[in-house]
Structure 1
């Protein structure tokens, strides 16, 4: 819509009705002589902290990028829980992504659009359908993956435009990573009003969810219809948010793609995490927390490559282990849609560089499991050499992340009361776009993280692969499952295959011919449980 901006002292005694072309020209000439111009106004929303001006995309979707949801966690706020954002005056442009969290270049498949890299990284992005204001639309808040060491809400594969076209509001959230987001230390615990340290990245996500509750109505969203989702570390984050007592009432449903904070991925006890933090500080010559806070961010990032920082049972965000919280039914009672991919890890995770033979498979299992090798072979059998690749892929995938995802589904279905839906994504990506003639895809299945572009409708943003009609069909199905779940807490809808809950002993296989199947892998996870369910 075009608006004409007039000085306050310009008044019209009578409006001009149906002016002819000559009168229009005279009118515009007069305006130009007064120094006035006609322009197309960008969309604006008024949040609790000030007015934002977004961008109307070519599709009609309205986006607001680089929106601050907390104060910059710099200086004395390094390693503190996020503080409420400050107000601003005037109109803040929200037309580009904010900086990504401090991180090293680890994963080649991460393609950022962020405004550089900085400790000042606590920004989120919103995509809304046209004319969404006042609509009370359901909302998806999505957390990126990257092992809590890398990732950003600006990645092409997380873009929220495609799902917004289907009638929901989508939000991506930045959170602190690595040493900046997950270091624990006794001095941090001592200075904390909650006597806790670590998990700052998870608390960033929590702060973003609080922001959504306060502000999403301004964008046309319904704060009572929020679903959280994420992949890998993002799915682990979803599990953590479901477990945390701080999250009560902030969302009504959750989507977990390959990951949780249960089983083999359970957080470290705080005392152990604190001890690790002290050892790291000593190794870089930092004698105190004050010394650590004085180290420039780039230097600290470089030095942190020698360590690894992840989640801990901090005593505040996670007052107990997630396993104990879920076992007691203290987690949020929300609907859950979760699952994993068919090749989260490859057979080399068991075989190493050995050929896929039965003898080599048994030797690999004996090396890993010693006196429990027969239990594993019974749950992951390979009678012939032809069976080895699949059996080794299953075991390697479970050891990596699939078992932990199953544990999330299993515990939520047992101690929660809302519906739980399980999927298995097995659509292999096609060959690469620049592959030579006759090339074939050698992956044993759908690789870790490969479902993201399908689920969020972003296949066209990934130019690496030569996508086929079957890929787009799979994507459309998975998008619709996700959108239905965000809208209603149930993935089922017109034109989609029926999807029962796990209490009906069924799960959904996602590919170009998606269909439901009976659950038949209970023996595998019972054996895995015997190692971690203690």
Structure 2
């Protein structure tokens, strides 16, 4: 190849942006909204969209296809760009949720059922014209990569849109549909990889945003990605992936990262999981596997874990190695976790809360390192055991990986990192029952606070204090999305993370920046997970 033309084949970030801009112009993106009564229309690259003018004045567009349906031969393939349509695509209802079992009782969907045809996204915008160039948030849902949906009430984008942000939620493939790998899939792939289809769906949605978000008044150069749990793991994976470079300028991670104990597995390992599954399903070829109806496929896969993988393409190496080499995206990061992600039962089981039982549990978990762990998570009396075991359980579950994300990005990256600890416990339920975790803020409980959606959750008896915390957290998030810095008028000062003097913003009724005193326990866990 003539090297003078090599840039045409391997476009750097600037060329990628130019190509996306040209595609948008050629496709005739509209430069203003056409509003008629309660309906509003915009022109995007694939055709004309009709959305809804909400009573608040926010324009919403739901169920927009961002990729072709991953059906038949497209099952277990990279998402393909959506096809153009004639006429008007009515975007007034959510697309189907991804195929998933009913595993989490707190998920309240507004989508019309589930389907393998699930690659749709939703946009809420306060803009009245495409000339406004507003900041953009693209949010990935949680659910352990086996459940979740962009239609959930807690992810609704209207509240953040009211703060001047174009908000996008997306659906991505889950479970066996999103993370199945097999040697034959690797062989047929032009990239010699398989698995991570759900992560590539997210990447495809980010490409769609680059091409189309200007039509909604958003600025493609001001995109922040965010997510919780598996969504936060997804954020860290996108930060690590070379494919996503240049597609966003900031990242928000709520409880999760693909580092430490949550690191992806080698491709060969997940391929063997796929081989065993194919044998269980009685399928001898990919064609056989692709002919299995979606419902049956999901049933056959129950109980089998399909993990994220170092596939050699989306993730060419372990994320830890990518970060260590400074090859991740260098973007501002706002990330943290909750004060009691899970309770002590995952450490103690149903044993009573005594120091003796706690030490026995640590011995089973850590053998000759049990004393080191006890010293890092001490319990002087039986009354201390619940808190110590909850801290350990939470760190083992998801906190350590999130800590690692903030720690390594602050040391290796060249952009600021802002770390938080969300500690506001939910109030009692409306029916008078408890809030689920008496020791602190449980896993996923911060979502409605951060996104301004307390009122959409009718389970809890929210108080003025809850709305105060929500306004604080939502404003921090909004400021960060707009500027890369969470600070603003009327908010406690939030300093960036400094490894020499680490401080964390504790978000509660009275939020405050607090010195970190427990780093030693994460250093200890790191010795177990990153050898």
Q: Same fold (TM over 0.5)?
A: yes
Question: 3-state DSSP class of the match of 1:394?
Answer: helix
Secondary structure at the residue paired with 1:66?
A: strand
Residue 183 of structure 1 is matched in structure 2 by 180
**In 2: Cα distance, 1:420 partner to 1:115 partner:** 39
1:457 has 2:429 as partner: no
User: What's 1:484 paired with?
Assistant: 479
Structure 2 counterparts to residues 102-251 of structure 1, below 5 A: 102-251=99-248
Q: Report if aligned partners of 2:103, 2:147 keep a CA contact under 8 Å in 1.
A: yes
The 8 Å contact of residues 71 and 117 in structure 2, kept in 1 or not, is answered as yes
Please show how residues 7-22 of structure 1 align to structure 2 within 5 Å.
Answer: none
Shift of 1:404: 0.3
Partner of 1:345: 342
Shift of residue 417, structure 1, vs aligned partner: 0.3
CA contact (8 A) 1:343 1:445 kept: yes
Maintained 8 Å contact 1:421/1:502? yes
Alignment of 1:92-491 (within 5 A): 92-435=89-432, 442-491=437-486
Q: Which has the larger radius of gyration?
A: 1
The residue number in structure 2 matching 1:6 is none
- 1:29-40 pair list within 5 angstroms: 40=37
Which residue in 2 is equivalent to 1:67?
A: 64
1:501 maps to: 496
- C-alpha distance 39-288 of structure 1, shift in aligned 2 (>3 A): closer
Could you tell me how far 1:133 is from its partner in structure 2?
A: 2.7
Contact persistence 1:62–1:128 (CA under 8 A) = yes
Shift of 1:441: 6.2
SS in 2 for 1:502: coil
Q: Distance in 1 between matches of 2:196 and 2:495?
A: 35
Q: Please give the TM-score of this superposition, normalised by the length of structure 2.
A: 0.92
Measured in 2, the distance between the counterparts of 1:285 and 1:233 equals 31
Name the counterpart of 2:8: none
Aligned to 1:56: 53
Instruction: Tell whether the 8 Å contact from 1:66 to 1:95 is kept in structure 2 after alignment.
Output: yes
1:142 CA drift (Å): 0.0
Distance change >3 Å, CA 389–CA 62, structure 1 → 2: same
Q: Is 1:522 the counterpart of 2:496 in the alignment?
A: no
Report if aligned partners of 2:340, 2:437 keep a CA contact under 8 Å in 1.
no
> CA distance change for structure 1 residues 132 and 435 in 2, over 3 Å: closer, same or farther?
farther
Q: Note the residue ranges of structure 2 that are not aligned, 5 or more in a row.
A: 1-34
Q: CA deviation at 1:345?
A: 1.1
- Does the 8 Å CA contact 2:47/2:86 hold for their aligned counterparts? yes
1:414 shift after superposition:
1.0
Q: How far did residue 40 of structure 1 move?
A: 2.6
Q: Kindly state the Cα deviation for residue 42 of structure 1 after the two structures are TM-superposed.
A: 1.7
* Worse overlay, 137-146 or 373-382: 373-382
Cα offsets for 1:322-378 (capped at 9, x unmatched): 010001100000000000001111011111111111111111111110111011011
Q: 1: distance between equivalents of 2:319 and 2:144?
A: 18
Q: Return the offset for 1:132.
A: 4.7
Distance change >3 Å, CA 378–CA 292, structure 1 → 2 = same
Partner Cα separation in structure 1 for residue 436 and residue 42 of structure 2: 47
Q: Secondary structure at the match of 1:54?
A: strand
Contact 2:50–2:89, Cα closer than 8 Å, also in 1: yes
Name the CA shift for 1:508/1:208 in 2 (closer, same or farther; >3 Å).
Answer: same
What secondary structure does 2:39 align onto? coil
Deviation of 1:103 after TM superposition, in Å, equals 0.4
Q: Which 4+ runs in 1 deviate beyond 6 A?
A: none
Aligned to 1:91: 88
Superposed CA deviations along residues 402-430 of structure 1, whole A, max 9, x for unmatched, are 00000000111111000000000010000
Cα drift, residue 306 of structure 1: 3.3
| Structure 2 CA distance for partners of 1:217 and 1:402, relative to 1, 3 Å | same
